[in-house]
């Protein structure tokens, strides 16, 4: 296995600076990503939904000038959607096209077993790379250039899927029964994200570096807003960040994420807002909170949150 370091910043501080064009990372997260690159190890990103785990993968791919290959996990995900499957339609088409050739090879066979024996070599051709459809995991291993492989929301997949991932995470290889072991051309930078809807197995955790991404402190969320919402006034951005920080202290069903803070800022900018007041907040809360019970709680607390 080879590891491309040409685009890898020489240290964690350089990586943090390089990705800051599109992503505001703290030094701990930048260090974890840099170590994952240097060690060729997967990085498990854990934390609430919407705190920037997926965006970090995109930012790293852009900074490192690598293609991003994403596998979105869900309940029932299996190797046919994640790793590979055989192109049965193409196999059937080739069978029809080669019907005469197959007939000539089996002509004179004394039994079904004899006919099958004569076609044994041809049968293996139908399970060769010619008929293989590479899904995200295999595509990442076979890529001619180093890639960033994002295995997104791995906690949504079944626990059995984690066991399936272990060979890829530990050895950068997969075993396909008909073809044998396929090793990576280049070591991919593998990022796994989890919203902690269930705990990851110890076996998966042992194979990964780990970092926890939480809601950012107000200073970093302010920097994120100014990066992602060009043109927002500093005073409005500061008021918005303070308000969201206080909202996250409430007992809500779903706390607003960074992405929802950004959406709210963009909405307020479109409305020409220069500051926050109760009417503006209550009329636009649907951008920030996504459950009616949460909207009512924030509405009832609006005066206190606004300091009025």
The structure's pTM equals 0.83
Q: Are residues 260 and 157 in the same domain?
A: no
Query: By 3-state DSSP, what share of the chain in percent is helix, strand and coil, each rounded to 5?
Result: 55, 15, 35
176 within some domain: yes
> Given 102, 131, 160, which residue is the final one in a domain?
131
Rounded-to-integer distance, Cα 83 and Cα 144, Å: 17
Q: Are residues 223 and 289 in the same domain?
A: yes
Q: Are residues 225 and 282 in the same domain?
A: yes
pLDDT at 94: 59
Rounded-to-integer distance, Cα 186 and Cα 140, Å: 9
Q: Are residues 120 and 146 in the same domain?
A: no
Rounded-to-integer distance, Cα 6 and Cα 177, Å: 35
Rounded-to-integer distance, Cα 158 and Cα 78, Å: 9
> Going edge to edge, which strands form the sheet with 148-152?
68-72, 148-152, 189-194, 43-46, 209-212
> Given 131, 166, 193, which residue is the final one in a domain?
131
Of 125, 153, 129, 131, nearest to 141 by C-alpha is 129
pLDDT at 79: 83
Q: Are residues 29 and 77 in the same domain?
A: yes
Structure tokens at 278: 């109760």
The neighbour count for residue 167, using CB atoms within 10 Å, is 14
Q: Are residues 76 and 145 in the same domain?
A: yes
116 within some domain: yes
Ordered per-residue pLDDT tens for the chain, 308 residues: 334 444 678 899 999 999 999 999 999 999 999 999 999 999 999 999 999 999 999 999 999 999 999 999 999 998 888 988 876 666 577 566 656 665 565 555 656 455 555 555 555 555 557 777 889 999 999 999 999 999 999 999 998 899 889 989 999 988 887 778 889 999 999 999 999 888 999 999 999 999 999 999 999 999 999 999 999 999 999 999 999 999 999 999 999 999 999 999 999 999 999 999 999 999 999 999 999 999 999 999 999 999 85
Contact present, 264 and 288 (Cβ < 8 Å): yes
Only one residue has tokens 């503006």, namely 280
> Domain residues for 241?
218-299
What is the count of structural domains for the chain? Answer: 3
Task: Name the helix (H) or strand (E) containing 306.
Answer: helix 302-306
Contact present, 173 and 184 (Cβ < 8 Å): yes
Q: Are residues 98 and 36 in the same domain?
A: no
Q: Are residues 126 and 139 in the same domain?
A: no
Q: Are residues 171 and 56 in the same domain?
A: yes
Rounded-to-integer distance, Cα 13 and Cα 222, Å: 21
The three-point CA angle 205-207-212 to 5° equals 45
Q: Are residues 156 and 184 in the same domain?
A: yes
Task: Name the helix (H) or strand (E) containing 236.
Answer: helix 234-247
Q: Are residues 151 and 21 in the same domain?
A: yes
Contact present, 269 and 229 (Cβ < 8 Å): yes
> Given 111, 131, 151, which residue is the final one in a domain?
131
Who's near 49: CB < 8 A, 6+ residues apart? 195, 257
**What is the CATH classification number for the domain harbouring 22?**
3.40.50.300
């Amino acid at each position: 296995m080879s590891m491309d370091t040409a685009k890898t910043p020489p240290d964690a501080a350089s990586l943090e600076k390089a990705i800051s064009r599109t992503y505001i990372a703290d030094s701990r997260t930048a260090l974890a990503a840099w170590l994952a690159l240097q060690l060729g190890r997967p990085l498990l990103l854990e934390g609430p939904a919407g705190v920037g785990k997926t965006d970090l993968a995109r930012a790293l791919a852009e900074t490192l000038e690598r293609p991003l290959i994403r596998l979105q996990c869900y309940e029932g995900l299996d190797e046919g959607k994640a790793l590979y499957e055989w192109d049965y339609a193409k196999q059937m088409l080739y069978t029809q096209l080669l019907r005469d050739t197959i007939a000539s090879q089996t002509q004179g066979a004394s039994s079904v077993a004899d006919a099958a024996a004569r076609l044994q070599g041809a049968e293996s051709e139908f399970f060769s790379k010619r008929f293989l459809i590479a899904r995200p995991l295999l595509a990442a291993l076979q890529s001619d250039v180093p890639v960033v492989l994002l295995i997104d929301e791995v906690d949504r997949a079944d626990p059995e899927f984690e066991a399936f991932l272990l060979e890829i995470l530990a050895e950068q290889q997969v075993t396909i029964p008909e073809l044998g072991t396929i090793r990576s051309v280049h070591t991919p930078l593998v990022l796994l994200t989890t919203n902690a809807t269930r705990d990851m197995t110890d076996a998966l955790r042992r194979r990964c570096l780990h970092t926890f991404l939480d809601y950012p402190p107000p200073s970093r969320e302010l920097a994120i807003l100014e990066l992602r919402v060009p043109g927002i006034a500093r005073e409005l951005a500061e008021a918005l960040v303070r308000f969201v920080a206080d909202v996250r202290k409430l007992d809500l069903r779903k706390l607003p994420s960074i992405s929802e803070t950004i959406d709210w800022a963009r909405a307020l900018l479109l409305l020409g807002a220069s500051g926050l007041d109760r009417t503006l907040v209550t009329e636009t809360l649907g951008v920030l909170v996504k459950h009616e019970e949460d909207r009512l709680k924030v509405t009832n607390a609006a005066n206190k949150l606004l300091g009025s």
